[in-house]
Every structure is written in C-alpha cells, then in structure tokens.
Amino acid sequence: MPSMPPLNAAPEGTRADDSPTMESSGHPRLWLYGTCALLAAGLMLYAQTWAFTDDEGFHLLAAQLIKGGMRPYLDFCFPQTPFNAYWNAFWMWAFGDSWRTAHALAALETSAAVTLVVQFVHARLPERPWRVAGAIAAATLIGLNANLVQFGPLGQAYGMCLFASICAFRLTVVAVDRRTAWAAAAAGAFAGIAAASSLLSAMVAPVLLVWIWWHNRAGNRWIKAVGFAIASALPFLPVLRLMMQSPWVIWFNVAQYHLRFREVYWPDPLSHDLETLTAWASEPQSLLTGLLAIFAIVYIWQRSNWSQERQSEFYLCGWLAAGMAAELAFAHPTFPRYFCLLAPFLGILAVPGLYAIGSRVLAPDRPFWPVLIITLISAGVLARTLYSNKDLSTWPEYEDMARKLVAVTPPGKLMFTDEGVYFVAKRRPPRGMEFGYSHKLKLSPERLAALHITPESELQRQLAAGVFTAAATCDNDTVDTYALAKIFQHRDDLHDCSVYSDWKRPGPENR
C-alpha cells in the first residue's frame, strides 16, 4: 500500500518553501480583497451606529481638548500615552470633533490591519493550494473576532495599536533580508507608534528588536538594531518634551497611575483578574483560535518541511502573542478587551493549524469546508455577542442626553456630567473633571492640584453649594455618591440615563 504524502507536499517540481508570488489570475485577488472589503464595510457600519463604550469618552474628550490648544498632563489629567489622542485631534481639526470621525479612523485602521494579515498569509504560507483559503481564514478569524469588532473601531487606541503592530511585524520580516537599515528603522517607528498610542502594546518593540538581531541575514545587525531602537523612540518625543517641563506629573500619568492607582475602583482586583484570564475557556472564538495556534506550532515544528526562514516568521507571531499576553496579564486590573490586540498574530498562526487538521480530515487540496466551518463559528459568535449587547448605550443616545443637559443649563453656568457628554456637548469640563476615574485618588492637595484633579469630596461640596446648576449621568453609583436626586428638584429620564436640573437650595431640613 503506497504511503501517504506529507501534509505539506508541494506540487511536483516545486518546493514547499519557494518564495510565493501572487497568482496571475485575478480571481485570488477578487476573493481576498473582496473578503477584506466586506469585513471593512461591516466594521464601518458598526462603527457609525452601535460602537460605544463608557471609557471611550475620556479619550475623545482628550483629543477635543488638545484640538482646543490644551496640553495633556500639564493642562489636564491624562494617564495614557498620547499619540492616538494627538492623531484623533488632528483629524477632528480637519473633519470636525465628532465621535463619527474618530470611529471612522479606527475602523479604517482595524480594517487595514486585517488586510495586511491577509496579504502576509497569502504571500508566506508555503502550502500553495491553501494560500487563498488560508488568507480568507485569517481574515474571518480576526475580522469577525467579537472582542476586536467591539473595541477596534472606537476612539480608544485599539485600532491604531492593531494597525501599527502589524505594520511593524510586516516590516520586521522584510528587514532581516535587507542590507540597509531603513526597513528595520521603519519597523521600529511603527512599534513605537503602537506603544505611544497605548502601553498595552509595549511588548511589540522588544520582541521585534530581538528577532531582527537574532535572525538577521543581510547587512549589519547592530546598525539595524540601533536604527530600530532610535526610530521606536521618536513617537515618544512629545512625552519627553512635556516631561522636561514637569517630570513628576508626566511620570504619574504615564507610569505611576498604572502601577499603583488603577485598582482604586476595583475592591477585589485579584479575583477580577483571575476571572478575566480564565474567560477564554468559555469563549468559542478564543478557544478555537488558541487551539489552532497550538496545533500550528506543533505542526511547523514536527511535521512541516518549511525552510527555517519561513518557520521563524510564523514563530514570531507566537512570540508576539506570548509577550503581549504576559504584559496584559499583569495590567492590574486587566480586561478582556485588552486581548483583542493579540488577534492578528494568533490569527496568522492559526492558519497552519487549520491546514494541519483540515488536510488530514479532508483532502489536502480541498480547503473549502474547514474554512467555511470556522467562518460560520466566528460569524455566529459575533452575531450572538452583538445581539446580547443591543440594549447598551450608544453615542446617539448620549447626544440626546447632551442636548437636554445643555437646554436645562443656563448660559454661563456649569454642568456636572461625564467625559462623553462633555465631548458631544462641545463643552469644556470644569478644571479637574477631565478624567472621571481620578476623583477617588488619595493624594495630598498639592499633588492633586499639580495633576489637575478635583477630589470626590470637593465635587460633593460644590454640588451641594449650587456650583453646578444641572447634571447628567447613566451611572446609578454616581447618583448615589453625589446625592443628585436630593440636590436637584427635577429629573428627566432619557433612554437609561437621567438629566437633573433646578438646584434645590438647601433649607434647614436638608442641611
């Protein structure tokens, strides 16, 4: 009985690790870019309609304040790296400070990241019959990932981090075969942009730098490493410039807040982190992608006859995912949304795993059914997730609340609300209210003043004294903490939120 050919057997006269070229027929391009265009259209539709999260308002307000001439850290509290805020501020200046502008940008960045992954898989997967199907599989595993779809197209930094990380990865793979250091420097610049947009992507740069140094095949590896390192620091120049003016304030915002103060609002962060880090076991998409990635590593290591160069490129995806996952696991507290940044690299790595399984169960050159199955699973999980979130707040609802709040606030008077409402109302918040999570911080009055933070006790005093003539919130805890129902005489309910007006002058019975 004839023996079965190896899983990665190439057509006669070819090698499995031949450098692939795009097929001359236009049909593969149609399938690949048609899939990318369909996913991009769906993501843009979602971005302009339902995409929303409460924390997003803080990022959008920061961009609006920067557009208005204010400086992060020095003029308002902003415990993030600022590249994405400056990026959004620029486009708000060009097209108007609307959440739709920021969402469109983030949707384009996320869609571009998916397209770059598709191109990589199609160009680099050694199994020729699976190149188009494998690229489509990567597109659906990533582009239909529920976590990525919900948070990629927001005004937060996820979209920029996804795009910049993939650009850095693609340039790194190219850089090791170039004699000059320009590709390595460009990879470093994009890795720096990712980290300068959010430190959740900080591990991308060191992993890629080590990989360039270790796998360099042309030119001087030291020059490339230095070029990468210098270029990766360039996106942090605005932070360094601000740090020269007030070192401690910038250090607190960028580092100290995250190391010591993020758990103020989480009384049991260890339990929360444990729940987050084990959530993958009950999430079909995470479980499927993770298992396929593990199968891929085993297959590439033990069964494939790929060249070492090709193996190392796919292993790099594993190293990036592992490095970022380790960092995110120590972001105390951590959240499931953070792990959407792993999706592109796990998606690439999952394709050889899908091939290893699908080619054994079915014909090695018939990838249709395995790809269809994972596409249906991914689409089903995404549809269920979006349906379960259909009753959550949206930006159009916040716009309704902002219009009502503005209407009941007399001209020249202050309103008490959160960052998202200030943003859509286009009202600069009172000093110290630019970052809602800061009010519970326990620091000396001098430190709070330097950070532009108004403590909770002072806000309670101001509300009771009538400094704010109207208020709006969607959070019941805020209503209780600041006694809004007792301080104001009138309440209007809109959607799941409330607008309070007509400050109640305290009589003897209310003092």
pLDDT of 132 above 60 = yes
Per-residue pLDDT at 486 exceeds 50: yes
Give the per-residue pLDDT at 26: 52
Say if residue 22's pLDDT is above 70: no
- What does the pLDDT read at residue 480? 95
**Could you give the percent of the chain with pLDDT greater than 90?**
80
Mean pLDDT of 461-466: 96
- Whether the predicted pLDDT of 82 surpasses 90: yes
Sheet containing strand 468-473, strands side by side: 414-416, 468-473, 497-503, 488-494
pLDDT band at 24 (very low <50, low <70, confident <90, very high): very low
Dig out the tokens for 355 from the structure. 């091939």
378-397 pLDDT per residue, tens: 999 999 999 999 888 999 99
Of 166, 162, 164, 174, nearest to 212 by C-alpha is 174
Rounded to whole angstroms, how far apart are CA atoms 82 and 72?
8
Q: Compute the average pLDDT of residues 93-112.
A: 97
pLDDT in tens, 198-248: 999 999 999 999 999 999 999 999 999 999 999 999 999 999 999 999 999
* Alpha-carbon 509 to chain mean position: 50
Contact between 39 and 344 under an 8 Å Cβ cutoff? The reply is no
**Stated length of the chain:** 511
Mean pLDDT of 302-325: 94
Residue pair 7/364 in contact by the 8 Å Cβ criterion: yes
Q: What average pLDDT score do residues 54-83 get?
A: 96
CA-wise closest residue to 242 among 370, 70, 124, 376: 70
Q: According to the model, what pLDDT value does residue 6 have?
A: 40
Alpha helices in 417-475, H assignment, sequence order = 419-425, 445-451, 456-464
- pLDDT at residue number 359: 81
Q: How far apart are CA 239 and CA 364, in angstroms?
A: 52
- pTM (2 d.p.): 0.92
**Band of pLDDT at residue 15, cut at 50, 70 and 90:** very low
Q: What is the pLDDT of residue 3?
A: 38
Instruction: Report pLDDT for 12.
Output: 36
Please tell me the predicted confidence (pLDDT) of residue 508. Answer: 53
**pLDDT confidence bin for 339, thresholds 50/70/90:** very high
Instruction: Count CB neighbours of 331 within 10 A.
Output: 15
Mean pLDDT, the chain, whole residue set: 91
Whether the per-residue pLDDT at 9 is higher than 50: the answer is: no
pLDDT of residue 415: 96
pLDDT of 17: 41
Please tell me what DSSP assigns to residue 167: H
Alpha-carbon distance 493 to 474, whole Å? 10
In angstroms, the Cα distances linking 86 to 59, 205, 312, 404, 479 are 10, 21, 36, 30, 33
**pLDDT score recorded for residue 413:** 93
What is the distance between the alpha carbons of residues 200 and 328, in angstroms, rounded to a whole number? Answer: 7
Confidence of residue 360 (pLDDT cuts 50, 70, 90): confident
pLDDT above 50 (res 428): yes
Q: Which of 45, 198, 212, 19 is nearest to 124 (CA)?
A: 19
Residue 11 clears pLDDT 90, i.e. is over it: no
Per-residue model confidence (pLDDT) at position 129? 86
Beta bridge partners of 503: 488
Predicted confidence (pLDDT) at residue 407 exceeds the cutoff of 70: yes
pLDDT of residue 511 exceeding 60, the answer is no
pLDDT digits (tens, 9 = 90+) for 153-163: 999 999 999 99
Q: Residues 44-48: contacts with CB within 8 Å, 24+ apart?
A: 44/104, 44/107, 44/108, 44/111, 44/153, 46/107, 46/149, 46/153, 46/386, 47/103, 47/104, 47/106, 47/107, 47/153, 47/154, 48/100, 48/103, 48/104, 48/107
Please check the confidence at residue 152 and state whether its pLDDT lies above 70: yes
What is the pLDDT averaged over residues 432-441?
93
pLDDT surpassing 90 at residue 261: no
Q: Assign 507 a pLDDT band (cuts: 50, 70, 90).
A: low
More confident residue, 306 or 267: 306
